[in-house]
Amino acid sequence: MSATLLEVRNLQTHFVSELGRVRAVDGASFRLESGQTLGIVGESGCGKSIMSRSILRIVPHPGEIVGGKILYQRDGESIDLAALDPKSAEIRAIRGAEIAMVFQEPMTSLSPVHTIGDQISEAIRLHQLFSKAAARERTIEVLSLVGMPRPEGIIDRYPHELSGGMRQRAMIAMALSCEPRLLIADEPTTALDVTTQAQILALLRRLQGELGMAIMFITHDLGVIAQMTDHVIVMYMGRIVESADVDSLFYQPQHPYTGALLHSIPRLGSSQPGGKLNVIRGSIPDPYAVPGGCPFHNRCRFNDGDRCQSETPIMREVRPGQFASCHYAGEVDLEGIALAEATP
Amino acid sequence: MTAYVIRRFLQMIVIMLIVSIVAFIVIQLPPGDFVDAYVTTISGGETFTQETIDALRAQFGLDEPFLIQYVKWISNVLRGNYGVSFQHQRTVADLLGERLPLTLAITLPTAVLVYLIAIPIGIYSALNQYSLLDYLFSFVGFIGLAIPNFLFAIILLYIGSQYFDANVAGLFSPEYELAPWSFGKFLDLLSNLWIPVIVVGTAGTAGTIRVMRGMMLDEMRQPYVETARAKGLSEARLIFKYPVRVAISPVLSTIGFVLPALISGTAIVAIVLNLPTTGPLLLNALLAQDMLLAGSMILFLSLLTVIGTFVSDLLLIWADPRIQFE
């Protein structure tokens, strides 16, 4: 159970243009064990999507991995995905087959002019030796696995003929068609309404139980994190600021940013009607001009005006198994919330 | 699908009927008729007596009321009899039979070349945006779009005759001009074809490159391309299966206009280059109010437009399943 599947070491993915250099991922390190569900949480633009695309080597132009390692473990050997050519046959054999991805927008992430079945069986035939007929059967099989009603009919439908939830099910079926060891789900429920969201989350939980794959769950929704994940990584400005198991993170956050995120969840009965919502003050710094020191210092209420602005904090173990990159982690008094409060 | 095709066919018949009436009216709209035009162009000081003019008018049937003329004409056309050109004193079928093959010899290869050249270049330019070749194609493309065809024809005429000693005016070298068809004449035609093909095709190629490039740039940014990439498809395979398939739609929708353009689109170039094609024939027929010739040609062009649009629609339905039969 606790064999390492993926280890990311000091990953740096940068975007360089005439405007300057954006450090979308700036020295991220973490481990993912097989069968584990890892949550990656952070505001828009914190680098969580780029980090997941770095693993598959599909970072959009002009983004590039400029440093670090992505060690993928297979059959006792370790492959550094960061060192592969993004167009090589080696990485293409891993994409879709061993590491698959579910995207945010089920409408635009499926080709509008090809049938669901065409797009799913393509993945099957690409990675496995299947005849056309066998691939079609397998497609129907995975469609019923994801709870698609009447899969024999749906297989010949086009995406625009399906509802949002059904499209996302088709997307998940496509990702699972080759039985990957790791499923990266990039905000898979953000574009769906709440009822459908709950169905898709339940589906993913069930499938993980049945297939035993690891899931990397990327979201900005702490409620989803609370429901879905074992271990959580909090990202801010391309860096990992806190890493902990889900209970510790919610009950005893150690990084001020995590604390602020938790308290920005609106909760029933926590404020007077007409009262203000808790928000994190300030906004994310200009990615082209990141301030020195701790990247969060300009928004942090514990900013000491000295060390926080000059010295970049390093990641350290604050409690057993819980890491945070804050000079005062463990000293500042942060209030957690109950897990149940986070789930809608 | 069958119901859709039948419905479209019925619509086409109605459209053609309306077009024939409108065409007949429009050709007759300018003051006077063929006989007036004839008399003013022919009579170099010579005067026609009123009797001669009336006799001419009666001979061509122009003294009859408009409606009778129309009904006579259209019922003949429906029976496959297009009548005799007033101007040329030859049957319309004969005139078209002479010029249509030569016209198609220029326009068909041009149309095919436009797509064969423009679509790959458009795709290449989009995939290598802001590369040296992309800038080069864009530069050439804008010039191709901006230069009027007749000017381009004159420039090529000049360059061809000045530097390549080519026979640039007309489709045949003088020795083959009036010779009967032979293999030598065919080769001669091929060797003279390149100037009109370049002139006629440049603007279309440039335009299609821009459309294809723009569409591809849009489509390459779509999330479904990322999905295909995350699936493990190779770049070449995913580009041709996904974004190209979507990006080609606007190009398919213009195929409908290519058909009539094959026949009439080359008029100005043909006049400059002295080409024996249908373009100048139609222009002269309209100027001379040569009713039967002009009417038949316009009817033919309209038919091609209607058929072309229908073909385009079928292609679009095939290419994009989101389009419904409505």
Instruction: State the pLDDT confidence band at B127, using cuts at 50, 70 and 90.
Output: very high
Portion 206-225 of B in contact with A at CB < 8 A: 222-224
Instruction: State the pLDDT confidence band at A1, using cuts at 50, 70 and 90.
Output: very low
> In this structure, is residue B190 part of a structural domain?
yes
In tens, the pLDDT along B196-241 reads: 888 888 888 998 999 999 999 999 999 999 999 999 999 999 999 9
Provide the domain count of chain A: 2
Q: What contacts 24+ positions apart, CB below 8 Å, involve A140-146?
A: A142/A173, A142/A174, A142/A176, A142/A177, A143/A116, A143/A169, A143/A170, A143/A173, A145/A173, A145/A176, A145/A207, A146/A170, A146/A172, A146/A173, A146/A176, A146/A203, A146/A207
More confident residue, B17 or B165: B17
> In this structure, is residue B248 part of a structural domain?
yes
More confident residue, A142 or B318: A142
Domain shared by A58 and A204, yes or no: yes
In tens, the pLDDT along A88-116 reads: 999 999 999 999 999 988 889 999 999 99
Q: Tell whether the model's pLDDT for residue A134 goes beyond 70.
A: yes
Q: Tell whether the model's pLDDT for residue B134 goes beyond 70.
A: yes
- Chain B residues whose CB is inside 8 A of the A97 CB are 232
Inter-chain touch B230–A114, beta carbons under 8 Å: no
B145 vs B203: CA distance, rounded Å: 5
CA angle B122, B128, B132 (to 5 degrees): 100
Please give the residue range of the domain that contains residue B303: 99-319
Domain shared by B146 and B241, yes or no: yes
**Mean of pLDDT values over A225-243:** 92
CB contact at 8 A, A98 and A117? no
Domain shared by B12 and B129, yes or no: no
Lowest mean pLDDT among A271-280, B72-81, B102-111, B156-165: A271-280
Q: Tell whether the model's pLDDT for residue A342 goes beyond 70.
A: no
Task: State the CATH number of the domain containing residue B198.
Answer: 1.10.3720.10
Provide the domain count of chain B: 2
Q: Which residue, of A136, A162, A179, is where some domain finishes?
A: A179
Domain shared by A245 and A312, yes or no: yes
Residue B310, both tokens: 């229908």
> In this structure, is residue B177 part of a structural domain?
yes
Q: Which residue, of B78, B113, B140, is where some domain finishes?
A: B78
Domain shared by B59 and B178, yes or no: no
Answer whether A58 touches B (CB < 8 Å): yes
Domain shared by A172 and A187, yes or no: no
Residue of chain B nearest A175, judged by CA positions: B231
Domain shared by B49 and B156, yes or no: no
Domain shared by A145 and A185, yes or no: no
Report the length, in residues, of chain A: 344
Domain shared by A166 and A270, yes or no: no
Q: Which residue, of A179, A199, A216, is where some domain finishes?
A: A179
Packed helices B249-264 and B291-319: angle between N→C axes, nearest 10 degrees = 170
Domain shared by A174 and A195, yes or no: no
Domain shared by B170 and B266, yes or no: yes
Domain shared by A68 and A122, yes or no: no
Q: Give the closest-approach CA distance of B321 to chain A in angstroms.
A: 6
**Mean of pLDDT values over A196-210:** 89
Domain shared by B175 and B295, yes or no: yes
Answer whether B240 touches A (CB < 8 Å): no
Q: Which residue, of A161, A179, A197, is where some domain finishes?
A: A179
Inter-chain touch A113–B234, beta carbons under 8 Å: no
Q: What is the ipTM of this complex?
A: 0.87
A343 vs B63: CA distance, rounded Å: 90
Domain shared by B105 and B194, yes or no: yes
> In this structure, is residue B12 part of a structural domain?
yes
More confident residue, A278 or A272: A278
Mutate to test the interface with B, among A17, A54, A109, A186 (most CBs of B within 10 A): A109
**Mean of pLDDT values over A279-300:** 83
Please give the residue range of the domain that contains residue A302: 1-98+181-344
In tens, the pLDDT along B254-297 reads: 887 777 877 776 788 888 888 888 888 888 888 888 888 888 88
> In this structure, is residue B87 part of a structural domain?
no
